[in-house]
Structure 1
Amino acid sequence: MDDHPEPSTLRVFVALAPPDDAKDELAEALQPAYAGYPRLRWNRIEDWHITLAFLGELPSTAVPLLRSALAGLAASHPALHLGLRGGGHFDERLLWSGIDGDLEGLHVLATDVRDLVRSCGIEFNARPLRPHLTLARARRDDPTGVPQAAAGLADFVGRPWRAERLHLVGSNIGRGPGPIHYRDIEAWRFGTAVRTGGGGRPRSAR
């Protein structure tokens, strides 16, 4: 939990975050891309997340209501078994890693999060969920590197992990020049039960 005073408005989203060992494993697989495409705008490893609902710019007065509602939702949901797998891109400009594991449970959680946010009187543009971990963006003056970096992740299969917490995150997007930085406003543990997938090999988000 971050006890610093909130600004009058926040760019907010609800997300999951892989554990450190899963992020370190992917970062190791990305070493050739880091070296080969240094002009990509690489996200900081500590900022890697899986967005469930992007809420946009909200008044800080909405945060206490969201905190209370999301705490209850997290307690009522089981943890999810997930993993990172492969890579891809959106429009040759945004590089991502795919999500494996209990995608059905992930979609159920995202739907519940979005319904809960609306029940709090907060409207937002609910785009279809495409589970992924954003890794880098191409610069406007140099769009090269993203498809090549995605191809380099084609065979990557990360270890499975458990999503332990639901995160309410704020960012500095639109607040001046420089890289995007994220911070947890608060995070809540999921319930003690663990949801398992429908059996067989985990499905890829790609």
Structure 2
Amino acid sequence: MRLFAAVLPPPEALAELSAEVERLRARELPGAEALRWTGPPGRHYTLAFMGEVEERLLPELGERLGRAAHRTAPFPLAVHGGGRFGRRVLWAGASGGVDALRVLAGRAEAAARRAGVPMAEPRRYQAHLTLARSRVDVDLRPYAEELTAFAGTPWRVAELVLVRSNPPAPGVPGARPRYEAVGSWPLGGAG
């Protein structure tokens, strides 16, 4: 199964972001027709992408993610600003406990490695929620600039979630991946 560890924003934060995305989409900036926008279920802060994970590794993975969560105190976070990865991915950023989020991402990645999950080479963590993707190059600078002033309401991150990504149905226009939580662990001192 295809898995990743994540922090999931609460519904209120997703609603604020959805309103900002709708405002941005209504601007009809150049390249808009090439963008595939994510919906609220696809908006999360990925901490560690694991890819395909054998089911036999799940108990050990869950135990280690639980320890990683326990070692991390709850922290404040807010959706804030935005940016782009090249000319194909537009994202919203974060403010508040970004350093704590980065630490939690490192712990989640280490937990996966220790559980035997083959992980890609580590990269510097960039807190982001993917908003749109394109299969062709698009000048995303105007979109990222529009997001600069966005500042969502802060919330308290209190859990680490293991998410399963189910691929979109093949051959169905507009089909999107489906996400389901397969485990969650409270951060230290939460719950």
What range describes the TM-score normalised by the shorter chain of this pair?
A: 0.7 to 0.9
Q: 1:137 aligns with which of 127, 133, 138?
A: 133
Aligned position for 1:156: 150
Q: C-alpha offsets along residues 134-177 of structure 1, whole Å, 9 cap, x if unaligned?
A: 1110133xx43633322221211111111121010111348745
Q: CA deviation at 1:32?
A: 2.4
Q: C-alpha offsets along residues 160-195 of structure 1, whole Å, 9 cap, x if unaligned?
A: 1111210101113487453222221112221226xx
Kindly indicate whether the alpha-carbon contact (under 8 Å) linking 2:57 and 2:116 is maintained by their aligned counterparts in 1: no
Q: TM-score, normalised by structure 2?
A: 0.85
Q: TM-score, normalised by structure 1?
A: 0.79
Q: 1:182 aligns with which of 145, 167, 179?
A: 179
Q: Does 1:15 align with 2:6?
A: yes
Q: 1:94 aligns with which of 89, 92, 95?
A: 89
Distance 2:167 2:4 in 1: 12
Distance 1:93 1:157 in 2: 23
Q: 1:24 to 1:118 in 2, by over 3 A?
A: same
Kindly indicate whether the alpha-carbon contact (under 8 Å) linking 1:40 and 1:145 is maintained by their aligned counterparts in 2: no
Q: 1:185 to 1:63 in 2, by over 3 A?
A: same
Q: Any residues of structure 2 matched to 1:12-161 within 5 Å, and which?
A: 12-35=3-26, 36=28, 37=32, 39-125=34-120, 126-140=122-136, 143-144=137-138, 146-161=140-155
Helix, strand or coil at the partner of 2:57: helix
Aligned position for 2:166: 172
The one-letter code matched in structure 2 to 1:151 is E
Q: 1:163 to 1:60 in 2, by over 3 A?
A: same
Q: CA deviation at 1:33?
A: 2.3
Helix, strand or coil at the partner of 1:29: helix
Distance 1:129 1:175 in 2: 30
Aligned position for 1:191: 188
Helix, strand or coil at the partner of 2:99: helix
Q: Which runs of 5+ in 2 are unaligned?
A: none
Distance 2:140 2:167 in 1: 21
Q: C-alpha offsets along residues 29-48 of structure 1, whole Å, 9 cap, x if unaligned?
A: 12122332364211111221
Distance 1:173 1:129 in 2: 24
Q: Which runs of 5+ in 1 are unaligned?
A: 1-9, 194-206
Q: CA RMSD in A?
A: 2.1
Number of matched residues?
182
Aligned-pair identity (%)? 35
Q: CA deviation at 1:119?
A: 1.6
